[in-house]
Structure 1
Amino acid sequence: MSETEYDYDLFTIGIGSGGTRASRVAAAHGARVAAAEEHRVGGTCVIRGCVPKKMLVYGAQFAEDLEDCQAFGWTIEGKKFDWKTLRDNVFRDVSRIEGVYTETLEKHDVTLFHERAEITGDHEITLASGKVVTAKYILIATGATPHVPDFEGSEHVITSNEAFHLDEVPGCILITGGGYIANEFAGIFNEFGSKVVIANRSDVILRGYDFSLRDRLMQISMTKGIEFLFHAEIEKVTKKEDGTYSVKMTGLEERSFDKVMVATGRKPNTEGLGLENVGVKMGDKGEIKVDEFSKSSVDYIYAVGDVTDRVQLTPVAIREGQAFADSIFGDVEPYSVDHTCVPSAVFSHPPIASVGLNEREAKEQYGQVKTYTSDFRPMKNVVAGRNERSLIKMICDGANGQILGIHMIGPYAPEIMQAAAVAVKAKMNKADFDATVAIHPTVAEELVLMR
């Protein structure tokens, strides 16, 4: 089939953050682009992930702010929280953002199909309606979906997808998992008044983050009333007549909860895409195996974002989508995304942010390292009488002072880390930070005051 015989130059399956960016940029380069999404435009991040979750985090933070404000002279009478008001306002803004995504694609003349798409042959896509189209290139950007372990009664649990749609805040909730989703929702529900229990199959939370931050978050979380159960996995969930759930976990007596939430990771969303029809190679988790340019084992099929299981972060998917579209359809030398030194955050209470190597990784790779820390109580917490300490940790190459990683837990940590990540990515030295004048009084000034 010649190039002119294809219906489209690019057909994107999945219109999340990565798929949207790739489709829009490819169209801007002059490509004829179509895209299919079986759910809602915007994907996980916009519809049921980081965007609505961050809105819940903002809402939860008011619980502490309203308590702390009294020490600053404020009197708040008759305060109360209404979950449905927050939930519905979040839904409203999510719909607004979905509209922006859709409008952006339509303005770039991207043809949208609001239905499922499957690869049914060489360069061939069949839509749920039965329509068959062809494309010179196919991009898979279908993201990932929550992984629910196999146990008796698993049909009774919720995941992060359903957490946004609850009719009320649960009085008592069990959250299984130790990653960022589990700890973020634990903080959210705890601030809204739930009794929160986190059950983790190991004895480590937030694996991959620096141990100092993990320990500090657990200490603060326990002080706030969050209960941790380690080496505990769900064996059985039973729904009782009163609507609550009885849960049996390994080595523990049965306990009752109003809701059971599973946050045990996410799996690439490749099932039913027809990838096996054209020989696309996949990994053990169902992820699409790609090279540095996001190309699969089939020359005309590419994949970006969580479906490749490289780095499951929205900004990474966007970078990958941009690089793909520029490299294939733009007048530039093909380029790839650097997946090293990617900053990340956990929007827990308080939040965590990190960039670069943690202390263990730095010692393994560099041998001699020098670590600087600042362990302090932010001024706001001092006045409020909140005994909650922040921690900043900087890890440097012992030989030349190059900053290998910065890790922080405390107020505004993600906002501060975005700027600090530039310095780490640029391979700056501790001396560069030391030579920078502090902005006082701020939390961020600790970055340039550590000696």
Structure 2
Amino acid sequence: MSFDVDLFVIGGGSGGVRAARIAAGEHGAKVALAEEYRMGGTCVIRGCVPKKLMVFASSFPRAFDEARAYGWTVTAGGHDWPAFRARLDAELDRLETVYRAGLAGAGVEVHDCRATVADPHTVELADGRRVTAKHILIATGGRPFVPDFDGSEHVLTSNDVFRLDSLPDRVLIVGGGYIACEFACILAGLGVAVTQFQRSTCILKEFDAEARDLVAEGMRAHGVDLHTGIVVTKIAPEGGAYRVTCGDGRTQVFDKVIYATGRVPNTAGLGLEAAGVELSRGAVVVDGWSQTRVPSIYAVGDVTDRIALTPVAIREGHAFADTVFGPGPRKPDHDLVASTVFTQPELASCGLTEEAARAAGPIEVYVSSFRPMRSAFAGAADRVLMKLVVCRDSRKVLGCHIVAPEAGEMIQMVAIAMKMGATKEDFDRTCAVHPTMAEELVTMRKPARTA
């Protein structure tokens, strides 16, 4: 049977674009790709990239304070949100152009419209055209989830923050995951009065408890009015703002309410189940090769709800292209994937939390918490945390957790050592770089506790 293309990719985010470029540009496949919004997906257009630029923007007030302590005369005016947003939009336009150029250079045919699956080998475009494909790759990512409650239609999501015409004076952020915490820190740094409600008893519940508690302490110290165990039951417009009612009876008025209560796979209306693809709570079910139970249909990235991180989606897309069109099969590696929460302070993690490691076997825990030189000199009370979780039997480092400025830069290097199977003694044999925060990772000699 002949097909119009060898591969049709639905979704122009990081995973889909990487798969299309490698399949076409390196392996010579005939590839088409459809994207209904903007090329680059969540990460480039409404996620990692604009968020990190906002993190940079929000960090300057504290940098100005430090500069004064170091002898500089610094006078800062108010933040010009419209000017920043215009520059941000221009940068996103530039990055989208880069993505499109990469696809064009690889010979990928791009369709700027929605596409759905008509059958295991056919994709239907929004204009009614049909394209047959030997293989179909679903890379449609995820979307923000907002629970249904009285007044839920009044809330914003993380997608909307980047499109605000002006910053609100008072904002409520609902949620306790990394997106909620990051935006709470960003907006507080930009001068917004931020309140954050989380329904469970802690924020960042999937991270190491000791590390996340220090992040919560730091967020509160830097202006975020953070409350846990709070459930919003109603939101109603009131004089150009919104009155929020909670389950414990409290009410409060905010100019904007932002929900960051998780993300769900973007599979609605794609025709996947009718084509025989299995879904689990909306996520595409795949095997280790990113293949669904329909042999011709694959999926990568957040739509599979494996590890919802951009670098993971990129590796999954690349591995798929190599496996199906390249010289041999290659599975994406989901073990020991490092991650960072770009709060202020940052939280970076690789491997097991102390809690998970305790459940798996005997461990030693090495901890160092201290005031870093730079901020201590400026009179700030900030503390950082360096933590290693070590298997008592094998001596391997099972987990590393860092709360500190630029923690993400540190965890990337630690992840290499952990991936190679480094033991605590390997860390001990490594000479420290002094004076740095990271030197604590190789100078901790006695465990703080064992289990």
Q: Into which bin does the TM-score normalised by the smaller protein fall?
A: over 0.9
Counterparts of 2:68 and 2:250, CA distance in 1? 41
Find the counterpart in structure 2 of residue 323 from structure 1. Answer: 319
Candidates 217, 242, 245, aligned match of 2:242: 245
SS at the partner of 2:279?
coil
Deviations 1:59-105 (A, max 9, x none): 01111101111011111125331111111111111111111000000
Find the counterpart in structure 1 of residue 257 from structure 2. Answer: 260
Counterparts of 2:339 and 2:75, CA distance in 1? 38
Question: Residue 143 of structure 2 aligns to which amino acid in structure 1?
Answer: T
Percent identity over the alignment is 47
Question: Residue 107 of structure 2 aligns to which amino acid in structure 1?
Answer: D
Counterparts of 1:90 and 1:447, CA distance in 2? 36
Question: Residue 349 of structure 1 aligns to which amino acid in structure 2?
Answer: Q
Find the counterpart in structure 2 of residue 43 from structure 1. Answer: 41
Find the counterpart in structure 2 of residue 214 from structure 1. Answer: 212
Find the counterpart in structure 2 of residue 393 from structure 1. Answer: 387
Candidates 165, 178, 181, aligned match of 1:180: 178
Count of aligned pairs between the two proteins: 444
Counterparts of 1:141 and 1:77, CA distance in 2? 47
Candidates 364, 378, 399, aligned match of 2:359: 364
Question: Residue 341 of structure 1 aligns to which amino acid in structure 2?
Answer: L
Unaligned 5+ segments in structure 1 are: none
Find the counterpart in structure 2 of residue 104 from structure 1. Answer: 102
Partners of 1:304 and 1:321 within 8 A in 2: yes
SS at the partner of 2:248?
coil
Structure 1 segment 144-223 matched on structure 2, within 5 A: 144-223=142-221
* TM-score calculated relative to the size of structure 2: 0.97
Deviations 1:397-431 (A, max 9, x none): 11232100100001110001000001111111111
- Is 1:23 aligned to 2:23, yes or no? no
Structure 1 segment 260-409 matched on structure 2, within 5 A: 260-284=257-281, 286-332=282-328, 334-366=329-361, 368-409=362-403
SS at the partner of 2:280?
coil
Question: Residue 356 of structure 1 aligns to which amino acid in structure 2?
Answer: G
SS at the partner of 1:98?
helix
Question: Residue 281 of structure 1 aligns to which amino acid in structure 2?
Answer: E
The runs of 4+ residues in structure 1 deviating greater than 3 Å are none
SS at the partner of 1:198?
strand
Question: Residue 298 of structure 1 aligns to which amino acid in structure 2?
Answer: V
Residue 274 of structure 1 and its aligned partner are, at CA, apart by 0.9
Deviating more after overlay: 320-329 vs 215-224: 215-224
Residue 225 of structure 1 and its aligned partner are, at CA, apart by 2.3
SS at the partner of 1:64?
helix
Partners of 2:5 and 2:132 within 8 A in 1: yes
Structure 1 segment 409-420 matched on structure 2, within 5 A: 409-420=403-414
Residue 119 of structure 1 and its aligned partner are, at CA, apart by 0.9
Q: CA RMSD in A?
A: 0.9
Deviating more after overlay: 193-202 vs 78-87: 78-87
Question: Residue 301 of structure 1 aligns to which amino acid in structure 2?
Answer: I
1:78/1:404 CA distance change after superposition, 3 Å: closer
SS at the partner of 2:360?
helix
Counterparts of 2:440 and 2:111, CA distance in 1? 50
Deviations 1:134-158 (A, max 9, x none): 0000000000000010011111110
Residue 262 of structure 1 and its aligned partner are, at CA, apart by 0.3
Partners of 1:199 and 1:228 within 8 A in 2: yes
Counterparts of 2:196 and 2:123, CA distance in 1? 43
Question: Residue 253 of structure 1 aligns to which amino acid in structure 2?
Answer: R
Residue 342 of structure 1 and its aligned partner are, at CA, apart by 0.8
Counterparts of 1:192 and 1:122, CA distance in 2? 49
Find the counterpart in structure 2 of residue 14 from structure 1. Answer: 11
Counterparts of 1:78 and 1:361, CA distance in 2? 45
Structure 1 segment 120-139 matched on structure 2, within 5 A: 120-139=118-137
Counterparts of 2:311 and 2:387, CA distance in 1? 24
Counterparts of 1:160 and 1:100, CA distance in 2? 24
Deviating more after overlay: 420-429 vs 302-311: 420-429
Partners of 1:231 and 1:250 within 8 A in 2: no
Residue 228 of structure 1 and its aligned partner are, at CA, apart by 2.0
Find the counterpart in structure 2 of residue 438 from structure 1. Answer: 432
SS at the partner of 1:228?
strand
* TM-score calculated relative to the size of structure 1: 0.97
Counterparts of 1:50 and 1:63, CA distance in 2? 22
Question: Residue 85 of structure 2 aligns to which amino acid in structure 1?
Answer: R
